[in-house]
Amino acid sequence: RSRYKSSNIEKWFGWKPEDVLGSSTWNLVHPDDLDEAQQFVGNLMNETGLVGTTECRYLCKDGSYKWIEITMMNLINDPDIQGILGNYHDITERKQAEQELTTAKDNAQQSETRLKLATFAGSLGIWDWNVKDNVMIWDDRMFELYGITKDTFPNNNDAWTNGLHPDDKQRAIDECYASLNSGNNFDTSFRVVHPNGKIIHLKADALVFKEPDGKPLRMIGINRDITESIYAEEQLVIAKEHAEQSDRLKSAFLANMSHEIRTPMNGILGFAELLKEPGLSGKQQQHYISVIEKSGARMLNIINDIVDISKIEAGLMTVDIRESNINEQMEYIATFFKPEAEKKGIELSYRTGLPEHKATIKTDREKVFAILTNLVKNAIKYTNKGSIEFGYNLVETYEDNPVETHGRASLPSDGRASLLEFYVRDTGIGIPKDRQEAIFERFIQVENVDKMARQGAGLGLAISKAFVEMLGGRMRIESEVGKGSTVYFTLPYSAKPDKKEPNQIDTFMDEVLQQFKKLIVLIAEDDEYSELFLELVVKKISKKIIKAKTGFEAVEACRKHTDIDLVLMDVQMPLMDGYEATRQIRQINKDVVIIAQTAFGLSGDKEKALMAGCNDYISKPIQREKLVNLMQKFFEN
């Protein structure tokens, strides 16, 4: 119960006595302070003579609050007073001042925290250079950025210049002094070399403060690590250049392809047109037909190359690893290319690095054949005089110099690896040093002066290199302009002796062949190299060899020589193909053994050949051993 109310109440709070008459003073206390104030009074009531102080806000008539410090004394037992004596003291101003102070302190703390977080988030190092006294102060991040510790810190301007990259040092220092002199902001970037050799890129920004007389006083700035963005920018530039280059390559490729395909197409269409002319002599016809054939063959080569490169690019090229005798391949390639080399007056020779009985390796025979063919073909193409030698050597490498294997063919894992290193060496025009890497790229050719004379799409080496890598090897070139080139490539090798004894192997074939009666053989083959090869193979078992270049000639030969024992029939011949020729021969001779030579990998050929009346077939390129096996089947006594 409030018994006495000072008139100050009106002066302080604006309430008239009648305003508050009959209502409790508690109604005027700020709701947030009410609990504390009531507790305070409650406590005070418990003990007589007790004095206490509290602070609370009172509502004024104008709606504002005043902070009041209340001091109260329990005088219940005092006979005169018998109540609580209270004294009110207006502390609103003091409270406001206090409040402002805390707010200011909070703000200052917050802004410092914000600054710290921001510099941290931005990985910013902060530095403060007192230019006048040459004293440098760094924050922790600065030490990290320069990769140094506080004990090696020189405390002055050397702090940042010491670590500068030699190529950037003078420029950065000059720029710094230019800012000091002009008062303009320092804004630059440079590289810093850490004591451990690591190089990072920093961006620096700083403000310059001057004395009233214009002398530089202080420089405050931040440094930021921009290594990653510089790197990203570089990568972007590289990626852009790559994209542009591959664009250029594609355009160049298309132009090249277009030329490469048009040229043989013109040959085919042009000479087909000429063939229509009435009254051509047989010789003229043969000539035109041979041009059409050659153009077609060239076209087929280009298409094969494009198919191969597309398969490689699409990751669809597979390897077919089997046992294969590498010496036989060498011999075959030498026989195959000899006429072409001799036509140019170039000597072609080969060398094997392993004896016959050790020359069987596990690899993809067709791919090795394609690689060697490509390289020897290039050697002949780019050599005008001198010689070409190809071959291989056995070399050993060790684990610390391993050869990567990309394909299914892998190296033995005993720490030691054997390799066959193949080479194709020519005395040709050579390749300039700066082009020796590029020629392995797709669609790239060295700009030859007499380019027209040397047709090609620039795909051969790219395909060959991809094949070598699929087989677990590597390809490289050594070349000097005007002197010649040597292309090397490796293949994994694991010695695996043949079942037959070494000294018997060479005589084995001969022994087999001696069991045959001597035969009369008809070789029906339009391609002169293939014909030459077959002749070499069958020479030992034949008493007479007859040759035919077309299906017609083959039928004619059979009609004339009824005693022919064996026909080696190429299925792809001009004018009349091997199937038709076989059908016609069967009408006149049911007994002659006809073996079809089919193109490699075309599965339908086999059935077609048997349907036409062939006894058996053999796929090209023909392996001597297979042919001998067939002979055994049909002619062994």
459 lies in the site for ligand ADP, by CB under 6 A: yes
Among residues 15 and 443, whose Cβ is nearest to ligand ADP? 443
In whole angstroms, how far apart are CA 304 and each of 299, 320, 463? 9, 18, 11
Task: Choose, by CB under 6 A, the member of 369, 382, 392, 533 that binds ligand ADP.
Answer: 382
Among residues 360 and 445, whose Cβ is nearest to ligand ADP? 445
407 lies in the site for ligand ADP, by CB under 6 A: no
CA distance 577 to 247: 44
Question: Nearest approach, Cβ of 301 to ligand ADP (angstroms)?
Answer: 9
CA distance 492 to 476: 16
What is the DSSP code (8-state) at residue 185?
P
547: tokens are 């040759």
Residues 71-90 that bind ligand ADP (CB under 6 A): none
SS in 3 state form for 315-343? CCCCCCCEEEEHHHHHHHHHHHHHHHHHH
In 3D, which of 445, 338, 326 has the Cα closest to residue 387? 338
302 lies in the site for ligand ADP, by CB under 6 A: no
Among residues 324 and 485, whose Cβ is nearest to ligand ADP? 485
Among residues 21 and 453, whose Cβ is nearest to ligand ADP? 453
426 lies in the site for ligand ADP, by CB under 6 A: yes
Site string for ligand ADP, 351-380 (x = CB under 6 A): ---------------------------xx-
Question: Nearest approach, Cβ of 459 to ligand ADP (angstroms)?
Answer: 6
Among residues 388 and 491, whose Cβ is nearest to ligand ADP? 388
446 lies in the site for ligand ADP, by CB under 6 A: yes
* Cβ atoms of residues 423 and 392 within 8 Å: yes
448 lies in the site for ligand ADP, by CB under 6 A: yes
CA distance 33 to 37: 6
Q: Is 141 helix (H, G, I), strand (E, B) or coil?
A: helix
370: tokens are 């394609």
In whole angstroms, how far apart are CA 614 and each of 535, 569, 607, 609, 626? 20, 9, 10, 6, 17
461 lies in the site for ligand ADP, by CB under 6 A: yes
301 lies in the site for ligand ADP, by CB under 6 A: no
485 lies in the site for ligand ADP, by CB under 6 A: yes
In whole angstroms, how far apart are CA 360 and each of 43, 61, 328, 376, 628? 109, 113, 9, 21, 18
Strands annotated E in 354-462: 360-363, 387-398, 416-426
456 lies in the site for ligand ADP, by CB under 6 A: yes
546 lies in the site for ligand ADP, by CB under 6 A: no
Question: Nearest approach, Cβ of 455 to ligand ADP (angstroms)?
Answer: 7
Candidates 161-169, 317-325, 445-453, 598-606 — which segment interacts with ligand ADP by CB under 6 A?
A: 445-453
Among residues 435 and 606, whose Cβ is nearest to ligand ADP? 435
Q: Which residues bind ligand ADP (CB under 6 A)?
A: 378-379, 382, 426, 428-431, 439, 445-446, 448, 456-462, 485
